Amino acid sequence: MASRETAARPDERGYGDGWERLRRRTLRRDSHACTRCGADDRTLQAHHVVPRSAGGPDELENLLTLCRPCHGVIHQYNRSFDDVREDAPLFPDPDSPTPVARMRTPDDQICSRCGTEHDDATELVAWTDVPDAEGRSNADHLILCKPCAGLVLEHHPGCTWEELDGNHRFQRHELSQRRLEASVRPSAFGRSEVGFRREPRNWRERVIDDTPLRFLFNSKIVRGVGLVVVAYLTILVLAGAL
């Protein structure tokens, strides 16, 4: 009987007579290791960078080797990977190709304090073993951008240097210096464990970023609408002048 891991392998979906040979060439080119995490002791599969459903060809240049858990990271909504997705590392390898250099879930690319999304995993760190309400550590983790990580490291007694992790080397003084880049106040949807306020340093931060005005002036939607209005008024003025 086939094991649970191999029973639903996407490589067995019948891509044609030449698929198995192409799959083996892909794995051989990638040294029989996952291009996202580097694992060479798991079931390896060939991943289409441009999906076949979008016209991606069955060609070596369109294929990358992934272990099954990391393949599940790329295919977030494919339920056949639900049993192994959590086995993938939280961070991609720093040298992984751009098409597969993703965090384990889409939410893991978003800072838990400021709500900023980062495509570059080297701008993020993980706070592991986050204390619960009673101060007891647990297996949960929070993702923080480097500026917010520096701020939390300074203010939260339960956040220690040893509990910060990433896919690259970073120094404590780097986080300390970048904490001044953190938003003055956390996002309205930020996690309470990291909801620290930073002292404003200039008039804009005091008048806008530290007051409810930030919801107006720092909103991409509001800025976009404002630009449209300004452009429209400019057109009206120019039309009237002509």
pLDDT tens by residue, 91-145: 999 999 999 999 999 999 999 999 999 999 999 999 998 886 665 666 578 999 9
Q: Could you report the per-residue pLDDT of 197-236, keeping only the tens digit for each?
A: 999 999 999 998 999 888 777 666 666 766 777 777 888 7
pLDDT attached to residue 9: 46
For residue 3, pLDDT beyond 50:
no
pLDDT attached to residue 212: 86
Q: Order of strands across the sheet with 141-145?
A: 141-145, 124-128, 164-165
Burial class of residue 128, CB neighbours in 10 A (0-12, 13-18, 19+): middle
